[in-house]
Amino acid sequence: MRYHAGRHFLQIPGPTNVPDRVLRAIDMPTMDHRGPQFQILAREVLDGLKEVFQTREPVVIYPASGTGAWEAALVNTLSAGDRVLMFETGQFATLWKKMADRLGLKTEFISGDWRRGADPAQLEERLTTDSAHAIKAVCVVHNETSTGVTSRIPPLRSAIDRARHPALLLVDTVSSLGSIDYRHDEWGVDVTVAGSQKGLMLPPGLSFNATSAKARTAARQSTLPKSYWSWEEMQASNTQGWFPYTPATNLLYGLREALAMLREEGLQNVFQRHQRHGEATRRAVRAWGLELLCQVPEEFSNSLTAVMTPPDHDADHLRRVILERYDMSLGTGLGKLAGRVFRIGHLGDFNDLTLIGTLAGVEMGLAAAGIPHRHAGVLAAMESLTEPAAAVGERRAA
Ligand SMILES: Cc1ncc(COP(=O)(O)O)c(C=O)c1O
């Protein structure tokens, strides 16, 4: 391996670049997780997280990746044989469904083409026919990291309400929390699943469940086996500032710093920054003459963009060329999209120049890989970024 001068561009849609402030915060001697200093730290992060989830409800922190938090959401609220309704929006929805099957739940998977989000009309129709209320939970991936599609949670919530159905609403925000507006309480979500390594700008290793009173009531009746993931013990310990087992102490230092950074910038400004970068990236893609995977403008993801390569052009070859020549990692096509799309991550600790550098790497890579395109993407993105914010807002409203 030869040395590459300059910083590697990590532009996969997570794990994202960890800001120096967070790295410095993590770089601390190991602490006693049963001592008074820890108690202060734990209380700070458990409270601070609520702001990011936009909730007043307790949030559970696991020393685990997002997959662990998926499992926790299911095993805490459901019982063997319970029926669960899920939407095939992409690879992560498919993996969550596989997990539910393995746990002994009866899944119904509403099929999809991986180019749009979960459909509220389909949800309402299915729940309306379930007059016996056999369906116990509806699971939705808010931001499908494999496709760059953001499902709209409020209309899905309204669909459940219109059907007068008591199913729990479980939402995966692994690649949206801290980058795309998300409101656990206002949107009536029962369990929100999230991870540390994307919008929260931390390394992988922490994941979260935000809960609702209804979810906690369901947890008391749920019979799926649970031990490590049990909310009951976790929440009982957390109220005192403790964890029932060894927490990832140094990552919690990092989390405290990341929460401070999000607070300093202001959550709404964080969302707006991601919106600007999402919009500029999409304009670059169109200017190159390439196709966005997401087909529904209201569902464009502001944390990543999945781009289709023309037929007969392997997206993984393009990614390899870009990595070799420009030391930049882009997201690969997952599952049935392998070789057909590449994904540009524009989330986390990310600014205008990071975006322009990223898009320049893609544009140069397209030329180097011999993929037909117009050399106009970076320019289109720069024009988008230098437009007054008001103009962008007006055009969006039109
Ligand atoms: C939307 C979504 N859900 C779940 C996961 C799984 O999380 P992890 O890989 O941290 O276990 C990911 C990972 O990228 C994801 O993007």
DSSP conformation letters of 246-307: ---HHHHHHHHHHHHHHHHH-HHHHHHHHHHHHHHHHHHHHHHT-EES---GGGB-SSEEEE
Give me ligand 1 centre to Cα 200, in Å: 13
pLDDT of residue 398: 44
Query: Rounded to 5 degrees, what are φ and ψ at 15?
Result: -60, 145
Q: What is the DSSP string of 80-112?
A: TT-EEEEE--SHHHHHHHHHHHHTT-EEEEE--
370 Cβ contact list (under 8 Å, min separation 6)? 313
Q: How far is ligand 1, taken at its centre, from the CA of residue 207, in Å?
A: 10
Looking at residue 11, its amino acid is Q
| CA-nearest residue, atom 7 of ligand 1 | 66
Give me the pLDDT at residue 1, please.
74
Residue with tokens 């909310």: 231
CA of 144, closest atom in ligand 1: 1
pLDDT reported for residue 278: 98
Read off the DSSP letter of residue 39: H
* Helical pair 377-386 and 267-288, crossing angle rounded to 10 deg: 150
Say what the pTM is: 0.97
DSSP state letter for 308: E
What is the helix (H) or strand (E) element at residue 227, kind and residue range? none
Closest CA relative to residue 276, chosen from 302, 251, 300, 294: 302
Q: Is the CB of 91 under 6 A from ligand 1?
A: no
Tens-digit pLDDT string for the chain (398 aa): 788 899 999 999 999 999 999 999 999 999 999 999 999 999 999 999 999 999 999 999 999 999 999 999 999 999 999 999 999 999 999 999 999 999 999 999 999 999 999 999 999 999 999 999 999 999 999 999 999 999 999 999 999 999 999 999 999 999 999 999 999 999 999 999 999 999 999 999 999 999 999 999 999 999 999 999 999 999 999 999 999 999 999 999 999 999 999 999 999 999 999 999 999 999 999 999 999 999 999 999 999 999 999 999 999 999 999 999 999 999 999 999 999 999 999 999 999 999 999 999 999 999 999 999 999 999 999 999 999 875 655 555 44
Instruction: State residue 392's pLDDT score.
Output: 57
Task: Tell how far the Cα of 182 is from the centroid of ligand 1, in angstroms.
Answer: 17
User: Quick check: CB of 278 below 6 Å from ligand 1?
Assistant: no
pLDDT at res. 194: 98
Ligand 1 mutation pick, 12, 174, 179, max ligand atoms within 8 A of CB: 174
| Ligand 1 centroid from CA 148, angstroms | 13
